[in-house]
Amino acid sequence: MFKKALAGIGAGALLFGLAACGGGDGGSDGGDDGSLVIGFAQVGAESAWRTANSKSVQDAAEAAGHTLKFNDAQQDQEKQIEAVRGFINQQVDVIVLAPVVETGWTDVLQEAEDAGIPVVLADRGVEAADEDLYVTRLGSDFAEEGRKAGAWAAETFAADADGTKILELQGTTGSAPANDRKSGFFEVLDAEGLNYEIVDSQSGNFTAEEGKAVMETFITTHGLDGIDLLYAHNDEMGLGAIQAIEEAGKVPGQDIQIIIVDGSKAGFQAGVDGKVNYIVECNPAFGPQLMEVVEAVAAGETPEKFTPVEEGVFDATQFEAELPNRQF
Ligand code: GZL
């Protein structure tokens, strides 16, 4: 909005306008009414979580009177980088990025900084080397989600003298949630001294289709006899795995216990049906909180480097009561 207004002014006035507004070479000053033009580079639409997250952000931007330029990168980093470059060229006031993976962002984040456009990370994070190239991240503490899952598993299988055999369906390779949900989970199993074996661990890329396909490969390779636990980094992969387990003639939730992360309606329904044993919540509905962060950043404030969203955990005794509360 602000930049569009300036764009109509002659060169001389433009320099004055920029100087008078302290806009520098593209600072984010927003419109006179405080409205902002926000570029949102979203991961994709791979899961119910992602769809709910996009809606939460879009609804919150509309409610706040901001213009949201939305891009769905279909889980492709090159498309996300292209989207960010597009937002830079459009001289948006703030860029919001949900980075599909942790690495490969230095150049484009530097370009945003050079253009004077602040970047806010939403949901996932980037590698520490790029920490100075974004203002703040609003999202989940993925390692803590992994620790919560690990605490339940360590308690549930503590008496399993012959060792707990675990299959793991990891999220998108190289993504912050996949890296951190894995590290947090096994950090707690080790700290609690659980006797366990990782029978196999592969990425299902956070989708139901790929989660089912990987589980079918697990079953073909290892069988299910003696497998105690499946740890799926999100609901979709867990639900896909459940289909594969049932097609193999086994009972999910009984023959093999299952942990999922997100807390979608479908995930909780699987819990009510006895097919899932533990759910770690990952909250997508941070749109309003994100707008507050973006507005603060546009006003030149510097929030904490990381703001975690609130999230809970649920076991079989809680699934039925919680299901009606699920928003996605
Ligand atoms: C976590 C988010 C993950 C979800 C998945 O914050 O990045 O990506 O857990 C989604 O469902 O695909």
Quick check: CB of 206 below 6 Å from ligand 1?
A: yes
Task: Assign a CATH topology to domain 142-282.
Answer: Rossmann fold (3.40.50)
Pocket test for ligand 1, best of 43, 46, 47, 205 (most atoms within 8 A of CB): 47
Burial 144-171 (b: 16+ CB within 10 A, else e): ebbbbbbbbbbebbeeeeeebbbbbbbb
Structure confidence by residue, pLDDT tens digits, 214-245: 999 999 999 999 999 999 999 999 999 999 99
Quick check: CB of 140 below 6 Å from ligand 1?
A: yes
Asked if pLDDT for residue 28 goes beyond 70, the answer is: no
Quick check: CB of 136 below 6 Å from ligand 1?
A: no
With vertex at residue 31, the alpha carbon angle to CA 40 and CA 89, rounded to the nearest 5 degrees, is: 45
Quick check: CB of 49 below 6 Å from ligand 1?
A: yes
**Which segments of 22-115 does DSSP mark as H helices, in order?**
48-63, 77-89, 106-114
pLDDT tier for residue 118 given thresholds of 50, 70 and 90:
very high
Residues in a beta bridge with 67: 37
Helix (H) or strand (E) holding 288: helix 287-298
Ligand 1 center to residue 185 CA distance, Å? Answer: 16
Structure confidence by residue, pLDDT tens digits, 54-73: 999 999 999 999 999 999 99
pLDDT, average across residues 109-138: 97
CATH number of 16-139+285-311, picked from 3.40.109.10, 1.10.8.60, 3.30.70.980, 3.40.50.2300: 3.40.50.2300
Helix (H) or strand (E) holding 97: strand 94-97
Structure confidence by residue, pLDDT tens digits, 192-214: 999 999 999 999 999 999 999 99
- CATH code 3.40.50.2300 region(s) in the chain: 16-139+285-311, 142-282
Asked if pLDDT for residue 5 goes beyond 50, the answer is: no
Ligand 1 center to residue 213 CA distance, Å? Answer: 19
Asked if pLDDT for residue 14 goes beyond 70, the answer is: no
pLDDT tier for residue 29 given thresholds of 50, 70 and 90:
low
Quick check: CB of 326 below 6 Å from ligand 1?
A: no
Quick check: CB of 50 below 6 Å from ligand 1?
A: yes
Quick check: CB of 180 below 6 Å from ligand 1?
A: no
**pTM score over 0.85:** yes
Closest-lying ligand 1 atom to the alpha carbon of residue 48: 11
Structure confidence by residue, pLDDT tens digits, 257-304: 999 999 999 999 999 999 999 999 999 999 999 999 999 999 999 899
